[in-house]
Amino acid sequence: MGHWQIIKPERSKVRNQIKNPSLEASTNNWTASGGTFSRSSEQSYEGAYSGKFIAGASSENVKSNGVNVTVGQSVSLTLQTYRANSTPQGTVTIYDATNAAVRATSTISASGAWEVHDLLWTNNTAGTVSVEARVTNSTADSASVIYFDAIGMFYLAYSILHFDGDTPGARWVGTPHESVSDIDPFNVYGGRQYDLEDDYYFKVINAPGAGNAPVITNYLPYAIAPGGSYQNTATGVRDWALSGILVRDSRANWNLARKALMQDLNANRFGEGRPVLMRYTGGGQTRQIWAYFNGGLENEDPRADKKEFIAPRFVSTSPYFQSPNRKATLLNTETSATMQLVFARIDGLWDVLGPPNASGSYTTISTLAVAPDGKVYVGGHVPKL
C-alpha cells in the first residue's frame, strides 16, 4: 500500500447501523460488561466527545446495539481508538452475539494517536445472527483507559469512511445521536478509499508543489507614479503534481490502468465539476486535499512496455491539506475575563468574555482557529462563549 489514495463515493444510499456512533449526547445504545464506561471530552476524534473505557479487574468489554446480518450478507466495521501509551491492552471486534463468537478482530497498537480499525465479515452460518461492535480492555488493572469514537457498521463487503447524521449530506433517521443514519449517493464523505499503488498500479515517488501553499500579495498599480497601493495578502491556488511509475504485467493492462485513473480523476465523474478528494497517509498522520485533475496522463511513450513514468497534475483552489476528521473543542465556563477582539486562554478554561464595559452588546465571532499546541483563538466581538 502506498501513501496516496483517492476517495470515491458510493453510488447508492448507505446506512450506518450504529445508533450512537460518536457519543456526543449520551452513552445510550452502548453497554459495558465490567470496567467503567462513560463519555468524555478528554479525547475525541469526531465532535467534542468520545467513549472512555477504564479497565476493570479482568478483561472487560463495551458493546454497541445489535445489528442483524442474514446468511451470506457482509458487514463492515470502522472504529477509532486512542490510548495515551502502550500500557492499555485491548481489541476491537465484530462479535456474533447469537453464537457467542468473535467474527473479526483488530488489536489496538498505536499510542498517543488515534488509530482506525477496519473489519469485515460475511455471515457463513446457518441463519441470521445479531452482531455488535465491541471494544475490549484486557489490561485488568482497574486504571488503564481506552478511548473510542467515530464508529460505523455498514452492510458492505468493504470498508468506507465513517459518517453519521452530522456529516454533510447525511441525516439521522430518528433522534439525533440515538438512531441509525443515512448518507446520500455520490457523497464523498461516506466514500471508499482507493490506493493509487494497490488499485491503480501507480507508485508515487514524489509530490512537487505539495509543500507550503503560495502566498500572493495583491496591490493596485498607480496610474502614473511607480509602485502601487497595497490591497491584501492571500493564499493562492496550489498547482501540484504526483510523479512516479505506473507498472503493469502487459501493455494492454497498462493502458487499462491509465484509463481507470483518468476516469476516476475526472471532475465530472461523480457530478459536474466536483474536485477529487485525495488523501496522504505518510508521516504517521492522514491529511486530505480537494484537487482538480489538470492533465499529465495524455502522452504515451511508444517505446515503453509494461511501465512508464507519469506525472498527473492537479489544481487545488482550496490550497491547504486538512485533517480528515471534524473535531470539536468543549469550552468550559470557569474563569471570567475581559478581552478585546482576539484572545486565548492558556489554561484552557473559558467564561464570560467580551469587550470592556460592553457585556451582552456584541455578539459577532469573526473567526475561530485551533493552534498546533491545542489553544483555541477566537476573533470578533464576543460577550460570552
Which listed CATH number (3.40.1390.10, 2.40.30.200, 1.10.1060.10, 3.30.70.2500) goes with 201-316? 2.40.30.200
pTM: 0.80
pLDDT at residue 130, as a whole number: 98
| Sequence ranges of the domains in the chain | 12-176, 201-316, 342-381
pLDDT at residue 364, as a whole number: 58
Long-range contacts of 100-106 (CB under 8 A, 24+ apart): 103/131, 104/77
Exposure string for 113-146, b = 16+ CB within 10 A, e = fewer: ebbbbbbebebeeeeebebbbbbbbbbbeeebbb
Three cell numbers written together for 311 = 506525472
CA 13/CA 142 separation, integer angstroms: 42
**Mean pLDDT per 10-residue interval, the chain, length 385 residues:** 92 97 96 96 93 95 98 98 97 98 98 96 98 97 97 98 94 96 95 96 93 83 87 88 94 91 90 89 88 87 80 93 78 50 49 50 64 72 51
| Residue 134 bridge partners (DSSP) | 63, 93
CA dihedral 113, 133, 328, 26 (to 10 degrees): -140
Residue with cell 470502522: 78
Report how far apart the first and last C-alpha atoms of the chain are (Å, whole number): 45
Q: How far is CA 347 from CA 238, 319, 331, 333, 378, in A?
A: 36, 32, 12, 12, 15
Contact 332, 345 (CB under 8 A): no
Same topology for domains 12-176 and 201-316, yes or no? no
The side-by-side arrangement of strands in the sheet containing 364-370 is 342-343, 376-381, 364-370
pLDDT at residue 341, as a whole number: 44
Nearest Cα to Cα of residue 91 among 131, 46, 60, 66 = 60
pLDDT at residue 342, as a whole number: 45
Nearest Cα to Cα of residue 288 among 254, 251, 326, 255 = 326
CATH class held by domain 12-176: mainly beta
